Amino acid sequence: MAIALITLAAGQGTRMMSDLPKVLHQIGRAPLLAHALASARSLEPARVIVVAGHGADQVGRAAAKIAPEAEIVLQEEQLGTGHAVAQALPALDGFEGRVIVLYGDTPFISPETLEQMAASDAAVTVLGFEAADPGRYGRLVTQGAMLERIVEFKDATDEERAITLCNSGVIACDAALLGTLVSGLSNDNASGEYYLTDIVAAARAQGLSAQVVTCDEAETLGINTRAELARAEAQFQARARAEALENGVTMVDPQTVYFALDTYLGSDVVIGPNVVFGPDVTVESGAQIEAFCHLEGCHISRGASVGPFARLRPGAELAEDVHIGNFVEVKNSVLAEGVKVGHLTYLGDADIGAQTNIGAGTITCNYDGVMKHRTTIGANAFIGSDTMLVAPVSVGSGALTGSGSVITEDVPADAIALGRAKQVNRPGLAAKLFAKLRAEKARMKKGS
């Protein structure tokens, strides 16, 4: 059966105390919306609808990056979840299949749980969970195996509030039936809103089946406050660390390693303490990341080593057996097999040939104040310490630059390039200068 997704992402999230739409706050360096859509897209849905409201332009741009196939519909007034789904239904006109309604601020529902929702043959299927502390969650009122209705906490009786089976808000329903049920919703309740949850009672009133699929409470965590966002980050990191360990990654101190949603690590990767992975990082099998490294938008090949105290920025491509040492920064650069960059170096907008050695203190001067320019260095070259490579410039294969050189012109293959000012020695001048400075210091001290 074809699947369509409706993801509700219109809320402002006033308790977040932020101008940013709630679904764009991040865990694992990705918006909450990205987490919600990542699991759902594993179902290979035929249609993806995102309902935006507060900050709709921002939400729409983010959704387009996360799921380019997504269609954005606008909920101009936030009149409840039923009203939000009603805004999405015209976009599904003619769609034949099952619709799953998700929430952009509920990031942890697993693909396996959603597969159970999709596979249910009930007219309406609701995702529920047994709550340790039911609090103000909506309650699922059941009769045997059947779900009779969902009651919101503020509308519930004392008997209903004693129920511990709670509503996550996620619902699956046939598209045509969903349209019929939503069109009949009323806002005659304590909040004056159109509750999507009321479709359960409406379906049962028509003699249709309604069932509950249950999941662990941790999957249904919704984000409404900064404190909940912090707890969600901790939950995400704990899960990501556990998965990495299970997949053959060694972490010296797992609690100090932080992952992004899309971090990919091969087996036998070794990660030291206090390493941070930003978005879009791939580390191939057998690579080693030493302590206190920060990685983002980079690719590290088999057998490479990075750090300690290194930073790889977007566009850094490290081939096999590349060595990046301490206090090295690499941005938008391709380093071929066996390149060594030991320490205290900046490589930006550069192409480095195989087996080349980059000496300490080397800088590719890539920015002229207006434009970025590239530096190209051939294979088996030797760049002396404290070389300034003023781009655009190229150094040929097998060439060498003298330490302390400023290279402003291309260097031919196998040549030595020296770009230093001539050294001048003035005998005895240092002693005279220091004597004068000491006398001035003594005079100032006496005067005070």
Q: Which residue has the tokens 């020296």?
A: 418
Contact assessment for residue 382 and residue 407, using Cβ atoms and an 8 Å cutoff: no
The H or E element that residue 225 is part of is none
Contact assessment for residue 396 and residue 412, using Cβ atoms and an 8 Å cutoff: yes
Rounded to 5 degrees, φ, ψ at 396 are -70, 165
Choosing from 35, 54, 83, 343, the catalytic residue is 343
Show the tokens assigned to 192. Answer: 């004056």
DSSP 53-92: BTBHHHHHHHHHHH-TT-EEEE-SS---HHHHHHHHGGGG
Q: Where are the beta strands (DSSP E) in 186-309?
A: 210-214, 250-251, 264-265, 270-271, 276-277, 282-283, 288-289, 294-295, 298-300, 305-306
CA dihedral (411, 414, 415, 416) positive or negative: positive
343 is catalytic: yes
Cα–Cα distance measured from residue 276 to residue 188, given in angstroms and rounded to the nearest whole number? 50
Q: Which residue has the tokens 């509503």?
A: 167
Residue 225's alpha-carbon distances to 23, 105, 234, in angstroms, are 12, 11, 14
Give residues with Cβ within 8 angstroms of 306, minimum separation 6. 287, 288, 289, 290, 293, 295, 300, 312, 318, 324
Question: Looking at the annotation, which residues are catalytic?
Answer: 343
